[in-house]
Structure 1
């Protein structure tokens, strides 16, 4: 579940910068639960859980993709519906994949870890890549990649856009 740490401020941060500042992942449910216990219901009657559901629904409908990836292993921790649509897999299947299963630039963990160090050092990067679908075909993408830390745990946040969508 996308957690409440990706609040309105996180959205504002994302819109104001070229690289994402906070990760959005189902893996944050423990953090989210702790935060929810500390928060009162909002004056408009929305609960933090309802806000999380709304945020997840909106992110899933975004025109761009979203991956949350483990920086060490390349394990895909979460992805939005757009990514699942492009790949041709159900969300549960995507969460069982690694980044090595669905793109063409990084084929081994050492290459991935070197790239993650670069992303961390540069505060985020823009790259071009190809996503490999369930049929074996590829889709050219470009996107923003950043490393974000929440409660001492790092996550890679990748926001790909299809090049074909950009070109027309």
Structure 2
């Protein structure tokens, strides 16, 4: 079936353009887009022709393969409607979440697939904030309070420095968790983006850690690149570097921090590389496969959760490129800002 066989009268096209949802009509065998309404072009940031030239799957950063997309199209054409979420990279370098629903469509006795597309980035972020807060309140707060409660119960029968030190540590952890909760809540409200010199930010961050840990072999390789963001990005990069320092033996440990332009995708790629231990599978899988883990079951630490949330807030992406006993590479991709 070729594009010339598809006809869509003016009234139908006007109707599609009036909808507050993206509409694309696909060839069920090849995935070629025969029609895209204006809303769909706005969501993707590409025209129908540009989407066909680049292949719609090519603008998603690892969310779904071409073969899987075609499989879903064919299932929809056979009457089995499909619904799924994926991430797409717009021409600006911004990465957004979209929801796609595929259904069978027949026009002039020809079978097609109609896709309804919505930008669900705000919904995904609201869900992530909620799950993070749920994790902090129901897991971490509860654990620390139970430690304090148990320690006080023991004070009737025994009094020693270990109990009091345990209480002090638990209280300090509770204060830290309160700060985390405030930080997560602040991600949603009122922080104004400004232009950030990534090279300077990373050099300053590494300098602080290098002074505290001179035994580690440090290397910084950053181009003079800029992003738009708020002060939470400082916390994200600090957390990534802190993880490399905190969770590895410092014997022969190397930590490399790099930043470079990715002009093809209009993004900046920032990498935190270390030669320490790999990230545990339970924490690594969400980064590899791009899903939201269960906040109460899937990990003991919330550091990477917070980093992922901050990066998502800035329409970027956190991925784990390597994770083995010899090398660990965490990559942050963020939209490129004009240096002027």
CA distance in 2, matches of 1:120, 1:85: 26
CA distance in 2, matches of 1:117, 1:91: 20
Judged with a 3 Å threshold, the aligned counterparts in structure 2 of structure 1 residues 146 and 135 are, in CA distance, closer, same or farther, namely: same
Contact 1:124 1:146 in 2 (8 A): yes
Structure 1 residues 6-155: aligned runs within 5 Å: 28-29=6-7, 52-104=9-61, 105-108=63-66, 110-120=67-77, 123-155=80-112
CA distance in 2, matches of 1:71, 1:163: 25
Report the Cα offset of residue 79 of structure 1: 0.8
Contact 2:26 2:113 in 1 (8 A): yes
Judged with a 3 Å threshold, the aligned counterparts in structure 2 of structure 1 residues 28 and 70 are, in CA distance, closer, same or farther, namely: closer
CA distance in 2, matches of 1:153, 1:61: 24
> Residue 93 of structure 1: SS of its match in structure 2?
helix
Normalised by the length of structure 1, the TM-score is: 0.57
**Unaligned stretches of 5+ residues in structure 2:** 127-340
> Residue 66 of structure 1: SS of its match in structure 2?
strand
Report the Cα offset of residue 86 of structure 1: 1.9
Report the Cα offset of residue 142 of structure 1: 1.6
Give the number of equivalent residue pairs: 122
Report the Cα offset of residue 130 of structure 1: 1.9
Q: CA RMSD in A?
A: 3.0
Judged with a 3 Å threshold, the aligned counterparts in structure 2 of structure 1 residues 158 and 99 are, in CA distance, closer, same or farther, namely: same
Report the Cα offset of residue 92 of structure 1: 3.5
Judged with a 3 Å threshold, the aligned counterparts in structure 2 of structure 1 residues 133 and 26 are, in CA distance, closer, same or farther, namely: farther
Question: Which residue does 1:16 correspond to in 2?
Answer: none
Contact 1:26 1:78 in 2 (8 A): no
> CA deviation digits over 1:16-49, x for unaligned, max 9?
xxxxxxxxx98532xx6xxxxxxxxxxxxxxxxx
Report the Cα offset of residue 58 of structure 1: 3.2
Contact 2:98 2:120 in 1 (8 A): yes
Judged with a 3 Å threshold, the aligned counterparts in structure 2 of structure 1 residues 120 and 88 are, in CA distance, closer, same or farther, namely: closer
> Residue 103 of structure 2: SS of its match in structure 1?
strand
Higher relative contact order (CA 8 A, sep 6+): 1
CA distance in 1, matches of 2:24, 2:59: 11
Contact 1:106 1:112 in 2 (8 A): yes
Normalised by the length of structure 2, the TM-score is: 0.31
Judged with a 3 Å threshold, the aligned counterparts in structure 2 of structure 1 residues 67 and 147 are, in CA distance, closer, same or farther, namely: same
Report the Cα offset of residue 93 of structure 1: 2.5
CA distance in 1, matches of 2:11, 2:79: 32
Judged with a 3 Å threshold, the aligned counterparts in structure 2 of structure 1 residues 90 and 151 are, in CA distance, closer, same or farther, namely: closer
Report the Cα offset of residue 158 of structure 1: 0.6
